[in-house]
Structure 1
Amino acid sequence: MTIEFSKQLKATTTPIPGVVLYDLPVHGDNRGWFKENWQREKMMAMGLPDFSPVQNNISFNEKSGTTRGIHAEPWDKFISVATGKIFGAWVDLREGESFGAVFTAEMDPSQAIFIPRGVGNAFQTLEDDTAYTYLVNDHWSADAQGQYTFLNLADESAAIAWPIPLEQAELSDKDKAHPRLAEVVPMPPKLTLVLGADGQLGKALREVYEGDASVEFATRADFDLTAPDSYADRNWKNYSTIINAAAYTAVDTAETPEGRTKAWAINATAVASLAKVATSHGIALVHVSSDYVFDGTVQTHGEDEALSPLGVYGQSKAAGDAVVSTVPQHYIVRTSWVIGEGNNFVRTMASLADRGISPSVVNDQIGRLSFTKDIAAGIVHLLESGADYGVYNLSNDGEPQSWADIAADVYELTGHSRDSVTGVSTEEYFKGKSAAPRPLNSTLDLAKIKAIGFIPADAVHRLTEYFMSRAHNSHCSC
């Protein structure tokens, strides 16, 4: 065997999405050769996913012509040749447009290839005493074999041109019996788990993901964030993403002894459990945050502003944010003044207007509404666009308003006089009442999320749309 020495580390894409062939620098002299078979930092810089291998397997093959595969396994693999030479064949057996795509290549110790979960792997040895090595990011178990997908080595659709004809090669009986492509059930993608699926944002996420079998929705009855069994009883290897739309949001009740305990249990302790699961299993964690993590002393909040919560609710949310920020794959989606299907400020004002009540509403808290349909769409955009992990502000756009301004808009949109709403200061409104402190400025800077291609709708436009929909659906009790 002749190995090409001193090649530059190089990545070459293939017709199969996610499958990347690497040239490896091999250094040789009179004693033999040496190579860096897998170098995380350099290869990640070239686009290799940080797939966190946990097991190294070696297949030794005594004779040339030994042929193994085609096996699609439920984990990612980084494959190379330790000694000898192989003809490798890979077939995409995942659900999607690339199902059935084929790539082949001859490989010696100066090459390696990354194979994502669900891509079928096969090889034929071209020399005696060939060793084929795998780095995999999950531990092999007998149970995992039930999640494999197989394709027959002689499949006519794949039409792999084996250098040594299969009738002359060494194959196992199992490999000879694998199905043709027309009979293969594609490997489904990993699941996305949406927590808090019965809340306002959860309902919007149900709508945006309607019909997507890879998204699983969990209400509190399905997944109690505060119960250890919820985390222990689930096979997290089957998930790629967790969207945490659950939270304790009773801002004023959080100031009571009982409320304080619940707020911290759900917004901080439970989030720490989710973060641990996400980190351990390489899962992307999307966590919904709040403007209450700030004290509101600056006019507009950017993603990099230091956390400065005023009350228990804000403190518990800030703690959750801090924990999530340690997860390698995380999106913290910071929003404000959420409006969706459920009890919210807009519905309350509409109800007061319909009953002829003239309310006093605070006029010194400034921000923007965030409609759940736009928060949900923004989350989907983050996940599908491959945006850099980190914190993203996400509210509706437009000129910031006070709560009194918004209340007046609601009165006008429901056919009532704007003058029915009286503006008062926060201090005056809560005088003599037991209430949590509120940030006076809740406006979020949206430049970062706009820069990745998501342009939130104008808040006033969404509010108008909300009541137009109400007018067309008289059965809706807003």
Structure 2
Amino acid sequence: MEFSKPLAAHETPIPGVVLYDLPVHGDNRGWFKENWQREKMLALGLPDFGPVQNNISFNEKAGTTRGIHAEPWDKYVSVATGRIFGAWVDLREGPSFGSVFTAELDPSKAIFIPRGVGNAFQTLEDGTAYTYLVNDHWSADAQSQYTFLNLSDETVSIPWPIPLEQAELSDKDRAHPRLADVTPMAPRKTLVLGADGQLGRALRAAYDGDANVEFATRLEFDLTDPASYSGRNWKNYSTIINAAAYTAVDKAETAEGRRAAWAINVSAVARLAQIAVEHRLTLVHVSSDYVFDGTSELHSEDEPFSPLGVYGQTKAAGDAVVSVVPRHYIVRTSWVIGEGGNFVRTMASLAEKGVKPSVVDDQIGRLSFTTDIAAGIRHLLESQAPFGVYNLTNDGDPQSWADVASSVYALTGHEASDVTGVSSEEYFKGKEAAPRPANSVLDLAKLRETGFEAPSGQSRLEGYLGQEVAAP
């Protein structure tokens, strides 16, 4: 064993499997090492995997061989004393299935093994102790989710230093299947909530054919029912996309609406946040321009909250809750247009009926088509962009609602001049309505830095209306 090596990380042929050199300090009395030091390991890129259990395998004789076991959790493996030959095989579903990595480990080395990668070792010295830090509690039910591979599988052809016929093996390990008969371990699932809403439908289309994405409508996952949260095995999930929300802006100002808005936009979000923290899930939460009062010319992600009405207050409170989840994306949108009732469809319908509407011309913003919101969410997740808040609308020049209405009239073959612009004060005079931000334009620079470019709202509007006209 080499003393005083610097702490270092080494990538391996198996994605996510990382081998570490550990500094071991020794003298005539023996040796000392920091076997796992969270801050230093995170700085080297080790995932903050949240270990909850420490296991030790003591092996009396050289030649003791164990594995190949792929468990439904991550683990950090090291040797306390002695020496082993380790073998790791990727048994996860995907292109790296069957990839192999081998290495000799003594107390100066450790290795991180992600969920679904098979772990095996053979002791090279008597009295070897092999240690595991794992991020889930062992149980008989968890063991039923293991994936196994035979130690002598010819396909992976592991070069055991001590031939298996001379090694000490359990009968169970001898009976494990060959690679051709192994069912790969599926990845953890993504759960989309609010799958029957405008954004939910767009997310269905974005993830069409992906068996690892599960969709739940409002009826299938009632955000106000505690049983919805306790009735799932969250260990089988990696991500929650919360596309559900209370969005009745004006009704939120009533007694009934206020209670409903707080229940769905805050209390339910707090339950989701708690689940995400407890199970180390990524929580994607959709926010709104209504968290601002609209007095800024351009709203950045770090602008302080200044909501005007109840709806905006509940969205701001929900954002604050989600912000404490270690793995979170808050996706802030404005003026959402998708499949279902929305402003564009309303204007198109009025145009067809020959109505010449008065539309607000002093509220400025950009449209957010759900197709692009869904694509942006998928991009953030798949690119593993830094967690945090991202503004996500369509690009292009800001417009007023009257400008959008005029474009709808023109694009559907009617006269843009049929739309008359009026002030918010005039439009809402005598009506019970929530206050609205005058400027909803969101700064998209942070999202662009991740490599995502949303198309212009005008081009999306043209395509959206073309589909509407073509629909029977």
Q: Report deviation, 1:471.
A: 2.9
The residue aligned with 2:102 is: 104
**Cα deviation 1:26-85 (Å, max 9, x = unaligned):** 001121110000011111111100000000000000000000000000000000000000
| Cα distance, 1:145 vs structure 2 | 1.2
Q: Which residue in 1 is equivalent to 2:354?
A: 356
1:164-221 per-residue CA deviation (whole Å, 9 max, x = no partner) reads 0000000000000000000000000000000000000000000010010100000111
Which residue number in structure 2 is paired with residue 125 of structure 1? 123
- Secondary structure of the 1:300 match is coil
CA distance, structure 1, for counterparts of residue 411 and residue 295 of structure 2:
32
Secondary structure at the aligned position of 1:301 is classed as coil
Name the SS for the 1:50 alignment partner.
Answer: coil
SS at match of 1:349: helix
2:452 pairs, out of 435, 451, 454, with 454
Find the counterpart in structure 2 of residue 388 from structure 1. 386
Offset of residue 226 of structure 1: 1.1
Asked if 1:49 corresponds to 2:47, the answer is: yes
- The structure 2 residue matched to 1:374, chosen from 351, 372, 375, is 372
Q: Deviations over 1:318-342 (max 9, x none)?
A: 0000000000000000000000000
- The corresponding residue for 2:247 is 249
* Structure 1 residue identity aligned to 2:373: I
Answering whether residue 3 of structure 2 is matched by residue 5 of structure 1, we say: yes
Matched, 1:90 2:97: no
**Residue 443 of structure 1 corresponds to which residue in structure 2?**
441
Partner of residue 215, structure 1:
213
Q: How does 1:328-339 map to 2 (within 5 A)?
A: 328-339=326-337
Work out which of the residue numbers 17, 20, 28 in structure 2 matches 1:19. Answer: 17
Supply the distance in 2 between the matched residues of 1:472 and 1:418 (Cα, whole angstroms). Answer: 21
Instruction: Select which of 335, 343, 346 maps to 1:345.
Output: 343
Q: Match for 2:18: what amino acid? A: V
Shift of 1:233: 1.0
* 1:287 aligned residue (280, 285, 288): 285
Matches within 5 A, 1:230-241: 230-241=228-239
Structure 2, unpaired ranges of 5+: none
Distance 1:438 1:451 in 2: 30
Please name the residue that 2:162 is paired with: 164
Q: Give the Cα–Cα distance (whole angstroms) in 1 for the partners of residues 29 and 270 of structure 2.
A: 52
What's the counterpart of residue 320 of structure 1? Answer: 318
Deviations 1:438-474 (A, max 9, x none): 000000000000011000000000000111222332x
Match of 2:201 in 1: 203
Which residue does the alignment assign to 1:297? Answer: 295
The aligned residue for residue 31 of structure 1 is 29
Provide the secondary structure at the position in 1 that maps to 2:73. Answer: coil
Following the alignment from structure 1 to structure 2, what is the Cα–Cα distance between the partners of residues 379 and 156? Answer: 42
User: Which secondary structure state, in structure 2, belongs to the residue aligned with residue 224 of structure 1?
Assistant: coil
Percent identity of equivalent pairs: 77
Q: Distance in 2 between matches of 1:431 and 1:397?
A: 32
- Do structure 1's residue 151 and structure 2's residue 149 form an aligned pair? yes
CA offsets, 1:313-364, max 9 Å, x none? 0000000000000000000000000000001000000000011111100000
Deviation at 1:135, TM superposition (A): 0.2
| SS class of match (1:343) | coil
**Is the aligned partner of 1:61 residue 2:64?**
no
Distance 1:299 1:409 in 2: 23
Please state whether the residue corresponding to 1:444 is helix, strand or coil.
coil
User: Structure 1 counterpart of 2:233, which letter?
Assistant: N
More displaced 10-residue stretch of structure 1: 226-235 or 190-199: 226-235
Q: Secondary structure at the match of 2:301?
A: coil
In 1, distance between residues paired with 2:425 and 2:266?
A: 29
The aligned residue for residue 75 of structure 2 is: 77
Alpha-carbon distance in 2 for matches of 1:254, 1:211 = 37
Q: Distance in 1 between matches of 2:173 and 2:376?
A: 45
The worse-fitting range, judged by mean Cα deviation, of 259-268 and 30-39 is: 30-39
What CA deviation, in whole Å up to 9, does each residue of 1:77-104 have, x standing for no partner?
0000000000000000000000000000
Segments of 5+ residues of structure 1 without an aligned counterpart are none
* One-letter identity of the residue aligned with 2:176: H
Output the TM-score relative to the length of structure 1: 0.98
Q: Separation in 2 of the partners of 1:8 and 1:333?
A: 40
Distance in 2 (alpha carbons) for counterparts of 1:332 and 1:363? 29
Q: Distance in 2 between matches of 1:450 and 1:67?
A: 51
Specify the code of the residue in structure 2 equivalent to 1:257: A
Equivalences, count? 472
TM-score between both structures, scaled by the size of structure 2:
1.00
SS in structure 2 of the partner of residue 194 of structure 1: strand
Letter in 1 for 2:339: E
**SS of alignment partner, residue 144 of structure 2:** helix
* 1:130-158 deviations in Å (ceiling 9; x for gaps): 00000000000100111110000000001
**Aligned-partner Cα distance in 1 for 2:197–2:469:** 24
Which letter maps to 1:311? G
Cα displacement string for residues 225-280 of structure 1 (whole angstroms, at most 9, x for unaligned residues)? 11111111110111100000000000000000000000000000100000000001
Q: Deviations over 1:106-149 (max 9, x none)?
A: 00000000000000000000000000000000000100111110
- Runs of 4+ in structure 1 over 4 Å off: none
